[in-house]
Amino acid sequence: MAEQRNSNTLGLLLRELLKERSLSMRKFSELTGIDTATISRIINGKRNATPQHLEKFANCLGVPLINLFEAAGYPIEQRQEESDSDIHTSVDAIQSLLKSSNVYDDEFSVSHIEQKLESYGLYAQTEEGKNSIHKDFDEKIKSVGSIGPFISKLKELYEKFSLGKGTLFELTVIGSTLLYFIIPVDVIPDYLFPIGYLDDAIAVQLTTKTLIKKIT
């Protein structure tokens, strides 16, 4: 039932995007290189979209890949009741996509993101780091141009950071994530759009998990 609901969510989103761009299903097929029958079945919820399908859809429609991943039901956003395995499920899906894209040769892992977050945490405690967050966050949000759980969570974290809501540890963790998002050179460089923002979503997951553990 959940799988069907996710397929319908993706289908509705694709229909809306195609309508906004005045694209027929046949033209969409030509632009993506995916046959019309497959696109039709995905939109009508009769088959699941693969990461490769989603990458081609995102490139053609000019939308963040993360939005399509979420609509398709891939576990991007971390929820309080979810376990560590959910992050690794996301990583497995992302790794599969990266290998098929032929644009990223390095091995993708959570540990690489954690190392970056740790270094950014130290930077977030400096005046230069804080100024960078306050100066560049809104501009980066505009450049990504997306909405949804991933971006909504970042905005929530930014508000807490700006208001100084939290302990030094919490603000350091939050600051590290905001810098990870703002600075374009991270584990998967942002210029590899739209793939480049998938690791930012994992960074948000890790931060949410850390903050929840601190509370409990």
pLDDT of residue 195: 61
| Residues of the chain predicted below pLDDT 70 | 1-7, 75-108, 145-149, 186-196, 214-216
What does the pLDDT read at residue 126? 94
Dist CA 51 CA 184 (whole Å): 23
Q: Tokens for 85, please give them.
A: 């395995």
Q: Tens digit of pLDDT for each residue in 1-10?
A: 334 444 478 8
Q: What is the pLDDT of residue 71?
A: 83
